[in-house]
Amino acid sequence: PYVIVCNHQASLDLMGMVEIIPDRCVPVAKKELLYMGTVGWACWLSGLIFINRHKREDAINVISQTARTMRRDNVR
């Protein structure tokens, strides 16, 4: 297992990440990205899992559910 971190210095970072993200990888992003116009739409359409960092309980629930799904489907 491993973690790839992108700190979003530019909108084009996301396009670069798409090229290096391995198959069967589960991308997670902060929910604020969802509202960044076409970048948000692209993230949503590509299946990113959005974490609401302002609501701690919601974030924990999303991460827990994602972890269960990852274990069940044997993905990273």
CA distance 46 to 76: 16
Q: From start to end of 1-76, where are the E strands?
A: 28-30, 49-51
Task: Select from 23, 24, 29 the least CA-distant residue to 5.
Answer: 29
* Span 52-63, pLDDT tens digits: 889 889 889 988
Per the listing, tokens 């044997």 go with 74
72 or 3, which is more confident? 72
Q: Which pLDDT value is given to residue 1?
A: 65
pLDDT classification of 8: cutoffs 50, 70, 90 = low
> For 16-53, what is each residue's pLDDT tens digit?
777 777 777 777 888 888 888 888 888 888 888 898 88
Q: Is 30 helix (H, G, I), strand (E, B) or coil?
A: strand
How confident is residue 11, by pLDDT bands cut at 50, 70 and 90?
low
What is the reported pTM? 0.64
Q: Which residues contact 70 (CB under 8 A, 6 or more apart)?
A: 26, 76
Question: What is the domain partition of the chain in residue ranges?
Answer: 28-73
